[in-house]
């Protein structure tokens, strides 16, 4: 399992457009990808779960990736977060 922390820098937080981009990227990998905020978590491959976390500007999230392609998935999700959030 790999994980990393990320601080949301988009003033609008995670809203529909960046969440959709993130879900689309996550679905390209076999690994399980979870996004955690505080004690709540969501499958990064499910748009409504991800948006349901209510992640806002300056919130810290933890992304956990586990599976056969976790290294590549972790790198791609980190890169995507930097691009869209």
User: Whole-angstrom Cα distance, residue 37 to residue 52?
Assistant: 11
Catalytic (active site) residue 15: yes
Q: Of the listed 1, 15, 60, 72, which one is catalytic?
A: 15
- Cα 65 to Cα 29, 31, 35, 80, distances in angstroms: 10, 6, 9, 14
With beta carbons less than 8 A apart as the criterion, state whether 57 and 24 touch.
Answer: no
Active-site residue list: 15
């Amino acid at each position: 399992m790999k994980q990393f922390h990320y601080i949301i820098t988009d003033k609008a937080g995670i809203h529909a457009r960046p969440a959709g981009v993130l879900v689309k990227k996550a679905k390209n990998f076999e690994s399980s990808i979870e996004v955690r905020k505080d004690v709540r978590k969501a499958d990064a491959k499910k748009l409504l779960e991800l948006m349901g976390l209510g992640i806002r500007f300056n919130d810290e999230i933890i992304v956990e990736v586990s599976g056969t392609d976790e290294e590549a998935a972790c790198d791609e999700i980190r890169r995507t977060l930097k691009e869209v959030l």
